[in-house]
Every structure is written in C-alpha cells, then in structure tokens.
C-alpha cells in the first residue's frame, strides 16, 4: 500500500485510544482470538518462557488454509490466556507492540482499500470506539493520506482488505453523496430511503422503495412494534432458563446450543431487561401493551432528539461494508436490513429497561447496549442470518415496510 494513498475516515477513528483496564468490556474477553500464521510461529518458538508456555497450552491450529485465521488462542475463564489480572496484554508487555497478531494490531479498526482510495471504520463491538462514534453530532468524514495516520498504521501487522476492483467515478460520487446526507436535517428514516433511491439509480434498477402516507406509516409502525416485541422477547429472554434464578449469576447460558453468549455482556443486558420489564412474570399480551406504550411515551422522544446516533451508526457500518455494497447489486438493501435489525434489537432491550419508572435513557446507555449486541450477535453470523431472515419473512421481503421501524 502506498503512503500517499488517500483514506476516507470519520473523525472519531483518529481520536480512538484503547482505554485498557477502564474498558466496560474487553476485546480479550468472550472471543477465541485468531492468530495469523507468522505470529503463530513467533509465539510457538518464542524464547520468552511465559509466552512459550501459554502458546504450548492454549494456541492451537484453526484454519490452515487461511493466513489470518491460521491459529486461535483457546479462552481460559472466558478470556484470552494472554490477558493479565490488570487487564493488560502479556504478549504486548513481554514482546512489544510488533509482536501482536494481525487481528489484535488492527482491532477495532476496519480498513478496505480500492485501487486509489481507502476507507476506515470502527468495529463498534469495542465500547470505546462505539462511544466516540455515537456521541458525535455533525460527524465529519475526512480524507487523509496514509502517512498522516500514524496512530492507525502503527504496526506492520495492521490489516487492510485490498479489493481488486476499481471504484468508478459514478460510485465514488454516490459514496460522497451518502457522506453529505449524514449531516443534513432529515431523519434517519428519510435519509435511508433517499440513499436507496440513489443507489438504485446508479445501478440503473427500478426504484425498490414504496412511499406510504402518514397514516399508513403509523399503522405499519404499530404492527411492527407488536410483532418485533414478541419475537425479540422470545429471542432474548426465553432461554434465561430457570425463572427462579433470574438475577442470579449462576443460571444456565442464553442463546444457542453452543452457549455462545454465555457470560457475555449481551446476556447480562438481556437479564437486566427481562427483570426490569417483568417479562417472565407477566402475561405476554400485558408485556406487549406496556412495551408499546413505553416506546411511544418515553423512547420515541429520545430517538427524535438523538437521531444523529442512528446516522452515525449507519455511516460507520456503510464504510465497513463498502466492498460488498459497491460490488454487488442487492447488497445495499440487505445491508440496510441488518442496520434496521440491530437498531430494533438495541431499542427493544432499552425500552424494556424503561419499564422502571425513574430510568432515564442516555447516549451512554445506547452505546453500552448497541456495542454488546454487536459483539455477541453481529459476530455470530448464524444468529444474525437466522434473525434477519425471520424478519424478512414477517414483512414479506418488503424493505420499505421494514424501514418504517425507524419512522
Ligand atoms: S474493546 Fe476497545 S477499549 Fe476495550 S480493551 Fe478492546 S480495544 Fe481497548
């Protein structure tokens, strides 16, 4: 990659600094960290006794065909075995920054490069980068050369996804149009519709957007609130098994048969939301009625006042998925579906917490829940795929209807 290559990046990417032991989560917790081939060999053959002993015990081969995912560190007590009691990385401490794997050197940034231009976004499963991204009103997208980004390209192991395809001038203009729409006065609902219309135009496709009247939108929204609350409650709460143990740390795992979400921040948030909304002890119809009422009376006000949160989330994910969005015709619609889904799931958990009378919703609470949702669900492609398809069935694959969730 040339040092004079230009990169588009939202300004918070440059401001990011890992807060280590002060982090409310940690990227070293809950995931089996993937290790690239060169780092795998470096750790296995290390002359440092501690690194060698941890590697012999916990570093195993994973995907031998992949350079980046060649090995993985098996968790101990749900943590990376290199994580110290002080929540610091032992490999970094004992061998220096250049010893980190490609994944650890790059996280929480995501970099994609086309022939002449690159795009940098953040992985919002990191609560600190999520905080920077979602708290910024009037978000600015900068264009900077690689040599002006020393705090991002701070190791030879930082990874960029290099696409072979070129970004045509027409597509680049579309990307710039998307950037300009982020700070206009429209709501996220209207902005996404306009972006889909522009995208259909550059692909010379018929418009895939229907416009509904105000009363139709209100009717659709009411129906979505009911169906989504039912489905998401089942997904988030039904496997909080033993009702009598709700609130106890010892109950069994949430979610899938592999217990993927066990002990995760997402699971703790589900427990809290179920508890605050009294879901497990109320008749379903009462729960849904109260949910709709609280959404309309308390949550909708927060949404309207902080609409920029949703636009910032959208733009970050747009940059992250730029390769597929630019290179495959239907991918923008699928991508927007996933954005609506993750917003709906986050909204759902937060509305449940608002059942508590004096609970006040803040941007920090939104950051906390969205980053936990993304860490557990977005990183489980199977769960994401299944849920999004379920929502697709319910709205009969009509994205215009699904978008009304953001109305
Ligand atoms: S999740 Fe983000 S802030 Fe937290 S330890 Fe990892 S990189 Fe640092």
Ligand 1 center to 185 CA (angstroms): 33
CA distance 89 to 228: 40
Segment 101-124, tens digit of pLDDT: 999 999 999 999 998 899 999 999
**Do the beta carbons of residue 273 and residue 236 sit within 8 Å?**
yes
Q: Strand, helix or coil at 89?
A: strand
- Residue ranges around ligand 1 (CB below 6 Å): 18-20, 23, 25-27, 108, 126, 128
- pLDDT of res. 254: 30
Residues 6+ apart with CB under 8 A from 122: 10, 12, 13, 16, 108, 109, 110, 129, 130, 132, 133, 316, 320
What are the residue ranges spanned by the domains of the chain?
28-106, 214-406
Segment 361-386, tens digit of pLDDT: 999 999 999 999 999 998 888 888 98
Which residue's C-alpha comes closest to atom 2 of ligand 1?
A: 126
Tokens matching residue 43: 């750790």
CA distance 370 to 126: 10
Ligand 1 center to 17 CA (angstroms): 9
> What angle do the packed helices 37-44 and 49-58 form, to 10 degrees?
120
Average pLDDT for residues 205-223, to the nearest whole number? 93
CA distance 272 to 247: 8
CA distance 66 to 332: 28
- pLDDT of res. 260: 53
Ligand 1 center to 12 CA (angstroms): 15
| Residue 310 pLDDT greater than 80, yes or no | yes
Which residue's C-alpha comes closest to atom 7 of ligand 1?
A: 18
161 φ, ψ to 5°? -80, 115
| Residue 243 pLDDT greater than 50, yes or no | no
Q: Mean pLDDT, the chain, as a whole number?
A: 91
- pLDDT of res. 262: 65
- For tokens 């009462």, name the residue: 286
In 110-209, which ranges are continuous DSSP H helix? 127-134, 169-182, 188-202
Residues 6+ apart with CB under 8 A from 214: none
Ligand 1 atom nearest residue 129's Cα: 2
């Amino acid at each position: 990659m040339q040092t004079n290559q230009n990169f588009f990046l939202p300004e918070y990417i440059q401001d990011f600094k890992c807060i280590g032991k002060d982090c409310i989560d940690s990227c070293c917790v809950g995931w089996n960290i993937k290790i690239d081939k060169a780092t795998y060999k470096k750790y296995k053959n290390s002359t440092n006794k501690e690194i060698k002993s941890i590697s012999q015990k916990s570093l195993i081969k994973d995907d031998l065909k992949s350079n980046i995912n060649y090995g993985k560190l098996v968790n101990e007590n749900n943590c990376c075995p290199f994580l110290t009691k002080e929540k610091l990385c032992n490999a970094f401490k004992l061998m220096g920054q250049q010893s980190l794997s490609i994944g650890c050197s790059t996280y929480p940034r995501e970099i994609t490069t086309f022939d002449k231009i690159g795009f940098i976004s953040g992985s919002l499963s990191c609560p600190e980068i999520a905080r920077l991204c979602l708290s910024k009103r009037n978000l600015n997208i900068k264009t900077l050369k690689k040599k002006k980004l020393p705090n991002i390209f701070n190791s030879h192991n930082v990874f960029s996804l290099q696409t072979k395809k070129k970004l045509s001038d027409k597509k680049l203009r579309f990307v710039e149009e998307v950037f300009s729409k982020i700070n206009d006065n429209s709501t996220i609902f209207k902005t996404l519709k306009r972006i889909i219309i522009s995208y259909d135009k550059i692909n010379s496709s018929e418009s895939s957007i229907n416009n509904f009247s105000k009363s139709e939108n209100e009717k659709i929204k009411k129906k979505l609130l009911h169906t989504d609350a039912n489905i998401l409650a089942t997904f988030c709460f039904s496997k909080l098994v033993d009702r009598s143990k709700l609130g106890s740390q010892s109950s069994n795992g949430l979610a899938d048969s592999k217990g993927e979400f066990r002990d995760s921040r997402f699971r703790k948030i589900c427990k809290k939301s179920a508890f605050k909304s009294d879901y497990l002890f109320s008749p379903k119809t009462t729960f849904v009625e109260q949910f709709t009422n609280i959404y309309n009376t308390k949550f909708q006000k927060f949404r309207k006042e902080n609409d920029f949160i949703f636009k910032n989330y959208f733009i970050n994910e747009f940059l992250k998925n730029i390769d597929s969005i630019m290179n495959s015709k239907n991918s923008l619609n699928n991508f927007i579906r996933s954005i609506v889904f993750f917003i709906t799931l986050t909204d759902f958990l937060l509305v449940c917490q608002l059942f508590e009378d004096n609970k006040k919703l803040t941007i920090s609470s939104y950051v906390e829940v969205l980053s936990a949702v993304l860490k557990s669900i977005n990183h489980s492609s199977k769960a994401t795929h299944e849920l999004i398809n379920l929502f697709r069935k319910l709205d009969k694959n009509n994205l215009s209807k699904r978008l009304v969730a953001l109305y």
